[in-house]
């Protein structure tokens, strides 16, 4: 989906690159698949701010997405391609043969009227979901599960895809968008294809007010703060004081934070770049 450049009639539109929603086919979501979301403004149950620069924003309603693709061997027809305010990717509404409706992540190339299915032995077509062991080599996949009994949690953002590069016994080898190469159980589910809305990364908001509409407050540089407010604050002029650290005191500037005792370390063949 390409982006469109607006005429520079105001300062906010001079450098703005807006998404082109011409691919979308419906502006009203399915009411039965909506839930309300209570905003926290970055605060915990006692009202203490635990996440900086959050607050405000437009009201949103969450769409219930079928990340598990648990309706096996039942054909579903793509009825709509819709916008989801809670994620960068688009979503598609499926009408199954038994009358049930579900949302899925919209894969690039899927059209209204196409049919998709999930199951053990299905064709590796765009939008179909199946276990990783059943997918051919060098196929692009998304919405990958890490546990055979849970739904997909990896590779779900706009334009993302992973590549199946090998099979080793009960494991398959996946190259993730970050560059990491790791093993995943072959019985875990994944969806064939690339997540849609590929040009999402090319969007430019154009002004700070658009960021406020998304629930983000102005961000203050750490070195501009006082020593009491941030470990990198203080100093004379532009000279910051002390060792660069995050607001939680963790050394910044490249220090690895992944645990050396994490169980999944043995499944990683090549670390991300």
Q: If you average pLDDT over residues 84-98, what whole number do you get? A: 96
What is the token pair recorded at 134?
Answer: 């059943």
Q: What pLDDT digit, counting tens, does each position of 192-211 carry?
A: 999 999 999 999 999 999 99
Q: What pLDDT digit, counting tens, does each position of 111-152 carry?
A: 999 999 999 989 999 999 999 999 999 999 999 999 999 999
3-state secondary structure of 217: coil
Distance, CA of 51 to CA of 41 (rounded, Å): 8
The mean of the pLDDT values for the chain is 92
pLDDT at 241 over 70: no
Residues in the chain: 273
Q: Are 78 and 90 in contact (CB under 8 A)?
A: no
Q: Check: pTM over 0.85? Answer yes or no.
A: yes
Check residue 86 and give its pLDDT: 94
Least confident of 189-193, 207-211, 235-239, 263-267: 235-239
| 186: CB partners within 8 A, 6+ apart | 131, 132, 133, 167, 170, 171, 172
């Amino acid at each position: 989906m390409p982006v469109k450049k607006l005429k520079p009639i105001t300062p906010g539109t001079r450098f703005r690159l807006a998404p082109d929603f011409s691919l979308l086919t419906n502006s009203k979501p399915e009411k039965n698949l909506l839930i309300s979301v209570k905003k926290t403004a970055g605060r915990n149950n006692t009202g203490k701010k635990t996440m900086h620069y959050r607050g405000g924003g437009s009201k949103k309603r969450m769409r219930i997405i079928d990340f598990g693709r648990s309706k096996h061997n039942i054909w579903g027809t793509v009825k709509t391609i819709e916008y989801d305010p809670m994620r960068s990717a688009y979503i598609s509404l499926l009408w199954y043969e038994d009358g049930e409706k579900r949302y899925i992540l919209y894969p690039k190339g899927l059209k209204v009227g196409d049919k998709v299915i999930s199951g053990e032995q299905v064709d590796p077509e765009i939008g179909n979901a199946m276990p990783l062991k059943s997918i051919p080599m060098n196929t692009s996949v998304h919405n990958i599960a890490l546990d055979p009994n849970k739904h997909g949690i990896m590779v779900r953002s706009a334009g993302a895809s992973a590549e199946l590069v090998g099979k080793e016994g009960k494991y398959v080898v996946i190259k993730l968008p970050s560059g990491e190469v790791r093993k995943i159980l072959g019985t875990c589910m994944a969806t064939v294809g690339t997540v849609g809305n590929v040009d999402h990364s090319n969007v430019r908001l154009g002004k700070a007010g658009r960021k406020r509409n998304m629930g983000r407050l102005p961000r203050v540089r750490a070195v501009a703060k006082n020593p009491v407010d941030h470990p990198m604050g203080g100093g004379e002029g532009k000279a910051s004081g002390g060792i660069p650290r995050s607001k939680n005191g963790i050394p910044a500037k490249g220090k690895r934070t992944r645990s050396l005792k994490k169980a999944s370390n043995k499944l990683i063949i090549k670390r991300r770049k």
